[in-house]
């Protein structure tokens, strides 16, 4: 795996980066890529940020320098990245995998604003002061002050600004200066600005109150992990799932609550919120939920147990994504062999003995797909069976 580099784009402003991938100049015709961040819970960058499912990204520009490929990344991508190491995967380039140590890229400002400049003259009797010329195409005016002495006001170098007069003090007329960089600077009457409206502050106060209420509700009732999306894959013949362990009666009561509602009628939030119910028991409750048709609740409960290191939950998640024995609509419409490989590997590392068979069957399926030219199957084998 090669190492790429990134820097702030030399010609564009803030928010843009230039990504250099050595030896990948042949991919300039099709520079599509994926961005993978392994430590993140949702490791793939998509249109709306980091997500569990794989996504295809497009650079704003692609160019070649020698044998290197140069990709211009805009704010839509750069604003989601921080100083860390990422993996860039070129879709149309053999061995197109690069490790990229990301450096900090200045963020794009929210809104550019011009600068308005005003000048004020002290009150020294009624007189007229001529406005100075603006270098680069402005107008120069003459005038008198006090007893008629001519005063010339120097202009400000600019790019073609216009000089307009304004009134200040006790009737003195002052010529405005030129503009810098092409903006128009206009003098005006020196009068008190109108009072600012109060509604923006009231709106801000309401937003702060709403945010505080939302934070209170969130920490009082934390939701389970989100349901990841599955990518399109080919179905394969089913494989039987290993049996799940039966809990003790005391543990079952702790998971089902005082009312003793059957497991198939529970919600993931209810089960996860009971302090007496251990994460290892989530696997059995999730299986009962699936038998009752509550597949979304089963998925959320298994993910909560897997995050707490329960190997049985990791193996069950792998079977839900596995193309071998995939069940459409429970809860995904398509299998995702990459997610299945990830959960099988984690379950094996957690000491789950029953995962070796399904993991070996998935590896055989991926090898067949890779031989038929499936690049994602090849990358999955390289990532999870190094």
pLDDT in tens, 132-152: 333 333 333 333 333 433 333
Average model confidence (pLDDT) across the chain: 74
Mean pLDDT of all residues in 215-243: 56
CA distance linking residue 173 with residue 373, whole number of Å: 80
User: Which of the two residues, 343 and 96, has the higher pLDDT score?
Assistant: 343
Angle at alpha carbon of residue 311, lines to 305 and 315, rounded to 5°? 95
Strand locations in the chain (E): 2-3, 5-8, 17-21, 33-36, 44-46, 49-51, 61-65, 68-73, 85-90, 97-101, 144-145, 149-150, 165-168, 172-175
| Tokens representing residue 231 in the block | 């990518």
Distance CA 161, CA 170 (A): 27
CATH 2.60.40 maps onto the chain at: 2-101
pLDDT of residue 373: 92
Q: Distance between CA atoms of 11 and 383, rounded to whole angstroms?
A: 36
Check: CB of residue 302 under 8 Å from CB of residue 312.
no
Give the tens place of pLDDT for each residue, 34-90: 999 988 888 899 988 999 888 899 999 999 999 899 999 999 899 899 888 999 999
| Predicted local distance difference test score (pLDDT) of residue 257 | 64
Instruction: Check residue 267 and give its pLDDT.
Output: 83
Mean pLDDT value of segment 263-271 = 77
| Least confidently predicted of 12-16, 33-37, 105-109 | 105-109
What's the pLDDT score for residue 253?
A: 60
Region(s) of the chain under CATH 1.25.40: 249-384
Task: Tell me if the pTM is above 0.85.
Answer: no
Residues 87/88/91/95 CA torsion (nearest 10 deg):
-70
Domain 249-384 CATH assignment equals 1.10.3470? no
| CATH, range 2-101 | 2.60.40
């Amino acid at each position: 795996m090669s190492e790429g580099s990134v820097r702030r784009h030399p010609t564009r402003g803030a928010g843009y980066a230039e990504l250099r991938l050595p030896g990948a100049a042949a991919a300039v015709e099709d520079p599509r890529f994926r961005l993978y961040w392994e430590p993140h819970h949702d490791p793939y960058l998509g249109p709306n940020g980091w997500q569990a499912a794989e996504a295809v990204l497009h650079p704003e520009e692609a160019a070649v320098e020698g044998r290197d490929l140069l990709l211009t990344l805009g704010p839509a991508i750069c604003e989601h990245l921080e100083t860390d190491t990422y993996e860039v995967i070129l879709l149309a380039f053999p061995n197109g995998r690069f490790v990229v140590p990301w450096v900090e890229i200045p963020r794009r400002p929210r809104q550019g604003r011009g600068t308005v400049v005003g000048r004020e003259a002290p009150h020294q009797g009624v007189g007229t002061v001529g406005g100075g010329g603006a270098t680069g195409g402005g107008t120069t005016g003459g005038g008198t002050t006090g007893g008629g002495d001519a005063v010339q006001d120097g202009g400000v170098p600019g790019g073609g600004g216009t000089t307009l007069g304004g009134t200040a003090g006790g009737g003195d007329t002052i010529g405005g200066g030129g503009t810098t960089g092409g903006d128009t600077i206009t003098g005006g009457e020196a009068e008190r600005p109108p009072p600012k409206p109060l509604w923006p502050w009231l709106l801000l106060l309401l937003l702060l109150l709403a945010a505080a209420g939302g934070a209170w509700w969130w920490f009082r009732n934390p939701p389970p992990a989100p349901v990841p999306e599955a990518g399109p894959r080919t179905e394969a013949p089913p494989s039987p799932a290993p049996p799940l362990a039966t809990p003790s009666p005391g543990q079952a009561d702790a998971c089902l609550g005082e009312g003793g509602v059957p497991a198939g009628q529970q919600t993931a939030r209810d089960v996860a919120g009971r302090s007496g119910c251990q994460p290892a028991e989530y696997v059995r409750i999730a299986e009962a939920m699936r038998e009752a048709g509550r597949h979304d609740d089963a998925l959320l409960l298994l993910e909560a147990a897997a995050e707490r290191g329960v190997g049985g939950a990791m193996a069950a998640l792998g079977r839900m994504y596995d193309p071998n024995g995939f069940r459409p609509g429970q809860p995904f419409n398509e299998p995702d062999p990459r997610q299945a490989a990830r959960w099988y590997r984690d379950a094996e590392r957690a000491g789950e003995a029953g995962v070796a068979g399904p993991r070996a069957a998935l590896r055989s399926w991926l090898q067949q797909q890779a031989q038929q030219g499936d690049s994602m199957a090849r990358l999955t084998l390289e990532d999870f069976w190094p």
